């Protein structure tokens, strides 16, 4: 082989690699969504994302963690979209410049789960009164303890019940530092009380002797929001693809898909986007 033919072969190979790299970049239609465990463990994403991919061709990889962790993933630039449920923390995320805008997507509610026999006598529609009774009892309570949206709500409810967990935790209080599904499993195994989002509870199968005991309090409202991570903070964020996802979930098509998701005939999430 002559030097000129070798050089020509190298040039062709390099050009082929460049074209392949360009084609890969153009064809890499995927994003990372950092989200709360409830959107995945309830089965919502398993239902929602195939519909989104069918409409857009965009692949979504979900990192399902507590809301606090999901927001931290967004702060580090390790996700393109954050989809969580702690409005105060989300608004702080926007104020810090990690997202330009937060958009409401859907809601459901929190419920207090416990043994059907309800030894602490909590049953009703007042979460403040229920936790005040639970705090005065010796009954077991499983806390997420993981800086999730559910954990943040739980802390608000304990505070409303005038119980300061920093100084006087109830006798039966146990923090697992785990997701919603594992927390429900622990409660089922130990016949304990636990705060859960209704969506994960409906999808949860290992209920043992547990049942919903407290529901219907306005304070139990559970709103979900979605945000594109700010590309001015992290230039590698796939802004266009991420925005396409956000636009889809708040569109009539996305909202109808969310509303259509049911488990055993029960609707888990209720769309309330305002495009």
Residue 111 pLDDT: 98
Can you give the pLDDT of all 275 residues of the chain as single tens digits? Answer: 443 443 444 443 433 333 333 333 445 799 999 999 999 999 999 999 999 999 999 999 999 999 999 999 999 999 999 999 999 999 999 999 999 999 999 999 999 999 999 999 999 999 999 999 999 999 999 999 999 999 999 999 999 999 999 888 999 999 999 999 999 999 999 999 999 999 999 999 999 999 999 999 999 999 999 999 999 999 999 999 999 999 999 999 999 999 999 999 999 999 999 86
Scan for tokens 């419920």, then name that residue.
111
* Fold match, 29-107+224-271 / 109-220: yes
- Domain formed by 29-107+224-271, architecture: 3-Layer(aba) Sandwich (3.40)
d(C-alpha 93, C-alpha 118), whole Å: 39
Enter the pTM of the model.
0.87
Q: What is the CATH number of domain 109-220?
A: 3.40.190.10
d(C-alpha 266, C-alpha 262), whole Å: 5
In the chain the beta strands, taken as DSSP E runs, fall at 30-36, 59-65, 81-84, 103-115, 141-143, 173-175, 193-197, 210-214, 221-228, 262-263, 266-267, 270-271
| Domain spans, the chain | 29-107+224-271, 109-220
């Amino acid at each position: 082989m002559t030097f000129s033919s070798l050089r020509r072969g190298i040039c062709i190979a390099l050009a082929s690699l460049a074209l392949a790299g360009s084609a890969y970049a153009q064809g890499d239609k995927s994003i990372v969504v950092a989200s709360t465990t409830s959107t995945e463990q309830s089965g919502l994403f398993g239902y929602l994302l195939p519909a989104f991919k069918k409409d857009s061709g965009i692949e979504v990889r979900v990192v399902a963690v507590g809301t606090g962790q999901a927001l931290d993933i967004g702060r580090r630039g390790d996700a393109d979209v954050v989809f969580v449920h702690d409005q105060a923390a989300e608004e702080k995320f926007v104020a810090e410049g990690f997202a330009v805008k937060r958009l409401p997507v859907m809601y459901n509610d929190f419920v207090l789960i416990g043994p059907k026999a309800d030894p602490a006598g909590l049953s009703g529609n007042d979460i403040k009164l229920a936790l005040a009774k639970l705090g005065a009892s010796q009954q077991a309570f499983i806390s997420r303890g993981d800086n999730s949206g559910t954990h943040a709500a739980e802390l608000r409810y304990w505070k409303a019940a005038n119980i300061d967990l920093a100084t006087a935790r109830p006798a039966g209080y146990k923090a697992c530092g785990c997701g919603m599904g594992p927390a429900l499993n622990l409660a089922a195994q130990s016949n304990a009380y636990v705060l859960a989002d209704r969506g994960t509870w409906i999808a949860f199968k290992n209920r043992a002797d547990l049942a919903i005991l407290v529901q219907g309090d306005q304070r139990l409202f559970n709103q979900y929001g979605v945000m594109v991570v700010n590309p001015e903070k992290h230039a590698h964020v796939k802004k266009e693809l991420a925005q396409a996802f956000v636009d889809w979930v708040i569109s009539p098509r996305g909202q109808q898909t969310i509303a259509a998701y049911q488990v055993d005939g029960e609707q888990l999430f209720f769309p309330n986007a305002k495009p």
